Amino acid sequence: MTTTASMPATYGPLQFPGRAGLTLWQFSRARRLGLISGPDAGGGRWSAAVFNDALARIDAVRQAVGTMPDVGAVRAEEQLAERFSMTVHSGTAAELARRGHLPVVGDHKGHALYCGLALGNLTNRRKVERASAAGQLHLRDVVPLYRQADLDRLARSRRVDWAAVRATPKGHRSPLAGAPHPEEADSRTVRALTLALSRQRRATVRRVGPRAVDRSPGTLSTGVLQ
């Protein structure tokens, strides 16, 4: 039995959750949600008063923080695929974050961590379907190059001279290199995107004929590099 005399005067960042019966991720989320205040005793420690207050509310704290820790993209997408019994493409978690449905709350070794609480509460299948379609990453040698939504947006652009794209000889700079693209895209992404669009466009010309293509830039399928 723990007596008052054996209770410490202050608690550190490992001691606090350990004595309160919280995992580290539960403790971190409780702090993020304002359920447990920040250190108040100096040296990054909490006073006994703050600890005792949290301990008195510990069941409510556990319920509020949920049961799922913050996770990376792969784990988040696996959870959604299992929950909705559907295919969830790589890139869906990032797209859900862009749309405000799945906040990024940190990172681990340079990779985004997504809010487990928001993930656990994400029950709208249609939101996931749309994000999966738009956020699908097209790969080359297992390296992510671009999103389907970026490809579709560029395909619809009226600023692209598709006749000039088709006429560009191999090894020459494509007019697509000057097309609008996401601000965050790096040069490798842009090069890969423009190359894929050019190939897909030429394939479309062979299938439907030049007149149909010249009237409209069209919409690309998801199987660009297949």
Residue 78, token pair as written in the block:
């696996």
Residue 2 tokens, joined = 């723990």
3-state helix/strand/coil string of 12-33: CCCHHHHHHCCCHHHHHHHHHC
Question: For 106, phi and psi rounded to 5 degrees?
Answer: 170, -165
pLDDT by residue for the chain (226 residues), tens digit each?
445 557 899 999 999 999 999 999 999 999 999 999 999 998 999 999 999 999 999 999 999 999 999 999 999 999 999 999 999 988 899 999 999 999 999 999 899 999 999 999 999 999 999 998 887 765 554 445 556 566 666 666 666 666 777 777 777 676 666 555 444 444 455 555 555 555 555 554 444 444 433 333 333 333 333 3
Q: At what angle do helices 187-208 and 148-156 cross, to 10 degrees?
A: 60
Residue length, the chain?
Answer: 226
Q: What share of the chain is helix, strand, coil (3-state, %, to 5)?
A: 50, 10, 40
